[in-house]
Amino acid sequence: MSNEPTLMNDEIHDIVDFMSEEHFKERLRELVRRQPFIPFAVHFVDGRRLVVERPWVVFSSSQGGYLSDTEGIVDFSCGEVQAMEFLTAETAS
């Protein structure tokens, strides 16, 4: 059994090459402001995945940044992000 968190959805829906600036900003705001906070995953167009475990994400309309315990400071932009999804409550704790 993997310790890797699983996504709430079995599939990522509406996959595109990258997120538009508006969709990036709206989706990130929704994920970060969720009360109570639920960790989420950022999926990059190059196949990487960043697990955001705390709501401490700094972002503007087209860029974001997160201090990961494992990856250090991770900067990302809407042109690099394919999707963002909540993680399940069971695997997030």
pTM as predicted: 0.74
What span, in angstroms and rounded, lies between the C-alpha atoms of 68 and 26? Answer: 22
Quick one: tokens of 9? Answer: 């959805």
Instruction: Dump pLDDT digits (tens) for 57-77.
Output: 999 889 999 999 988 999 999
**Residue 15: band (very low, low, confident or very high) from pLDDT cuts 50, 70, 90:** very low
Q: Do the bridges between strand 81-86 and strand 57-59 make them parallel or antiparallel, or are there none, so unpaired?
A: unpaired
- Amino acid identity for residue 18 in this structure: F
- The strands making up 63-68's β-sheet, listed across from edge to edge, are 57-59, 63-68, 72-77
Q: Using DSSP, state whether 55 is helix, strand or coil.
A: coil
Residue 21 DSSP one-character state: H
Q: Which domains does the chain show, CATH number per domain?
A: 21-87 (2.30.30.100)
pLDDT (0 to 100) of residue 76: 96
